[in-house]
Structure 1
């Protein structure tokens, strides 16, 4: 292929799809998480179960048939909070704002409609995650707070850095029909 054609091919827009995962995505999700340091690696079985049992609160991003993004989450039982466990973006898809796009996609789902807040845990040194969740808070107009939660010595027996619980308030969804009726 001539050099000029290679340049044109590289500039072609990439098709990106955000969707619910299924159990057949487990291995690809596991590979992606392993490629995204400093994320903690779970077992492939864990990612398979997440994809199958928690599909409504997880997101897979595909680009040209390849899994390039993953958000795992769940609604916290007996609370109105969505917990985001992991956000992974392939080096191939970085710089596209994919992490933020997946999180916004997730909080817009019916399964997350009752969430008044989003929680996640982040170690102090994970600058990329702090930047992502601060950006999400700005995008949704929510307040972001944090406090040490899972502590190095108390919870991790000294083998893992303290995880800070990050809480972002989510705006209440406004009912357009009620607003229009009130304006009439």
Structure 2
């Protein structure tokens, strides 16, 4: 943890954090915004495989949502990562991702991470390729969902990043 993160706490989200996660996702400018209801459900049903960063006042300033894949129980799928604009540039996304995967590895034996990234999202590409490097893991990429699969208008393809096996423990 850097000095810039010393005033932040990373823990599991609770249902009362759902509205803040929705707002942070909305303000990100890059994430697909889901319904506020979905963030409430996520904070209830997937809190154990997600993380929230809290500022000094206890309010969420960033989050990572994820779940253990039922068909691949040693794989954590990271769904969304977002940081409030006022807290960007401090390495908070990387710290949340490292902390979450360390917890999930200890609790579930997870040895790999998957996420999807749209082409051109360089911030996410950097976050996950540097994560792989820190954890001594390889990265493979393939299109998971072609643009034509999305029913609600133009959408970039979603490229699946498979990161693993994780060989260096998270810090």
TM-score surpassing 0.5?
yes
Instruction: Measure, in 1, the Cα distance between the counterparts of 2:13 and 2:26.
Output: 18
Contact 2:52 2:63 in 1 (8 A): yes
Root-mean-square deviation (Å): 2.0
1:56 has 2:48 as partner: yes
TM-score where L is the length of structure 2: 0.88
Which runs of structure 2 are paired with 1:39-118 in the superposition (5 Å)? Answer: 39-65=31-57, 66-79=59-72, 80-110=74-104, 113-118=108-113
Question: Does the 8 Å contact 1:58/1:74 carry over to 2?
Answer: yes
TM-score under structure 1 length normalisation: 0.82
Structure with greater Cα Rg: 1
Q: Distance in 2 between matches of 1:119 and 1:150?
A: 14
Q: 1:156 aligns with which of 132, 137, 150?
A: 150
Q: Deviations over 1:36-92 (max 9, x none)?
A: 011010111100111111111000001122311110000000312100000001111
Gaps of 5+ in 1: 1-10, 175-184
Q: CA separation in 2, counterparts of 1:81 and 1:12?
A: 31
The alpha carbon displacement at 1:171 in A equals: 2.4
The gaps in structure 2 that reach 5 residues or longer are none
Measure, in 2, the Cα distance between the counterparts of 1:166 and 1:91: 25
Alignment of 1:141-180 (within 5 A): 141-153=136-148, 155-157=149-151, 159-171=154-166
Aligned residues: 163
Q: Which has the higher contact order (CA 8 A, sep 6+)?
A: 2
User: What's the secondary structure of 1:35's corresponding residue?
Assistant: helix
Please tell me whether residue 27 in structure 1 is matched to residue 22 in structure 2.
no
1: distance between equivalents of 2:161 and 2:4? 37
| Runs of 4+ that moved beyond 2 A | 11-14, 110-113, 170-174
Q: CA deviation at 1:14?
A: 5.5
